[in-house]
Amino acid sequence: MSKYLVLLIAITLVTVMFAGCISSHPAPQYNIGDVVSDSSSKSVGLLVVQYGRSTDLYSLRGVVKSNDGSWSWLQQSQSDNLVNRAALEEEVPYKIGYISDRNSIKSGPAVALYPTPLIYNQL
């Protein structure tokens, strides 16, 4: 009987130790480099710069797709915007592109030429 008690205690300790290592948040729907939008037909979107697993927040920057297929920053000098994962994934359900290298993104156009993505106004 004492062998089973020791085994049960050992299993309980291992479970408790690893429980803190596992995130309670669902896996993010978007990956770094994905460009997402609230419409599949828009050329303006949000670039996923980072995802913080511990905070459950996406870090985003606005981008716009040119007629030649290249991407530009929506604003020339902008900081990343932190947005709750669940809210972003619900309100911005479309992946409209992927940018593998942030250095390939051109300097942004004048902000007045392009509407601000819906997510900035709502979250």
Q: pLDDT of 13-66, one tens digit each?
A: 555 555 555 557 789 999 999 999 999 999 999 999 999 999 999 999 999 998
Cα–Cα nearest to 119, from 94, 96, 87 = 87
Q: What's the pLDDT score for residue 113?
A: 44
Structure-token pair, residue 90: 């619900």
Q: What's the Rg (C-alpha) of the chain?
A: 21
Token reading at 74: 């929506």
Backbone φ/ψ region at 69: left (φ over 0), alpha (ψ -120 to 50), beta = left
* Predicted TM-score of the model (pTM): 0.70
Q: Which two tokens stand for residue 107?
A: 């300097």
